[in-house]
Structure 1
Amino acid sequence: MKKMLLLPLCAALFASAATLTSCGNGGTTAQAPTTPAAQAKAAEDSVMARHDRLMGQSEQVVELAAKLQATPRPPRPLLAKLQAADQAMMTWMHQYQAPDSAAPAPQRLAYLQDQQQQLAAIEKQLTSALDSAKAAVGRMPAAATAAPTPAPGQ
């Protein structure tokens, strides 16, 4: 009788242990890279992921700027804020150069950490501009935010 009670208990423990070790990572635990080269690679991946995320936000800048420019009296300071945020992103992209893989790992890591800081500042600027633009568009009448339609015969 005791053996029959232990069997379901062992099965339950085994199942929960298997779940703990296979949380979508193939049974390995996520650890921070330990070698300087691995740290530099992780930093580069992080910079590129942030860049990709910010590029998605840059697309919103263009959409919101178009809506604001289509109004009878476009808010020039807000448009300038959107343009400055977009320009900051474009400037960063033009100046960024992936670190030379032959360079020492600590040097690559320092460069990438600096790039992360620059992107963090751009992200803050971009988020502020987008939040302001979204609020302005949200206050506009629905007809003003619709895409302009071409006149007949055009």
Structure 2
Amino acid sequence: MFTFRPSLLLAAASVALLAACSPGPDEQQQVAAAEQAVLASHDTLMARMGELYDLRQKLQKAALPDTALAGRQRRNLLTADAAMMGWMHQYRKPADSVATPTQLAYFAAQQLKIDSVGRLMRQNLDSAKLVLQQAAPSSNTPAQ
């Protein structure tokens, strides 16, 4: 004869609930892909940090007719550098125990942030290069 055991029923319900709440393979792949996309963007930008530093040094050493422009460009490059460092310091991978939709939302927000850092970095790198290129012909012309 079967006897009713509330503890057994509770245990079975708990197992069923945990199974329903744990992410499936597709959800795990989505989270992994979202994280990889964010980190790939970060890695691409990190590869350009040396270029950012080099341009800052070139702007400092260049004999530019408009020293205020050179100073502004150097500060813009420092701003891009600070944005990258700020993003890296605030990034925290969610724990695996965090719900999948929450993890995906976090990585989506981080992708927006790192994309913004990337735009700032590219814009300021391009501007600094342009200032140096425009200054090069004028600094190479002989004095009369």
TM-score by length of 2: 0.71
CA offset digits 1:79-123 (Å, max 9, x no partner):
111110110000000110112122111111110000000011111
Q: Give 1:44's match in structure 2, choosing from 32, 35, 46.
A: 35
CA offset digits 1:10-49 (Å, max 9, x no partner):
xxxxxxxxxxxxxxxxxxxxxxxx8222111100001110
Aligned length: 110
Q: In structure 1, how many angstroms separate the alpha carbons of the residues matched to 2:49 and 2:116?
A: 14
Shift >6 Å, 4+ stretches:
none
Q: In structure 2, how many angstroms separate the alpha carbons of the residues matched to 1:84 and 1:105?
A: 34
TM-score by length of 1: 0.66
- In structure 2, the partner of 1:118 is 113
Q: What's the % identity of the aligned pairs?
A: 34
More helix by share: 2
How far does residue 140 in structure 1 lie from its aligned partner after superposition?
3.0
- 1:89 lines up with 2:84 in the alignment: yes
Structure possessing the higher relative contact order (Cα contacts under 8 Å, 6 or more residues apart): 2
| Counterparts of residues 3-152 of structure 1 (less than 5 Å) | 35-73=26-64, 74=67, 75-141=70-136
- In structure 1, the partner of 2:15 is none
Give the AA of the match of 1:125: L
Q: In structure 1, how many angstroms separate the alpha carbons of the residues matched to 2:112 and 2:37?
A: 12
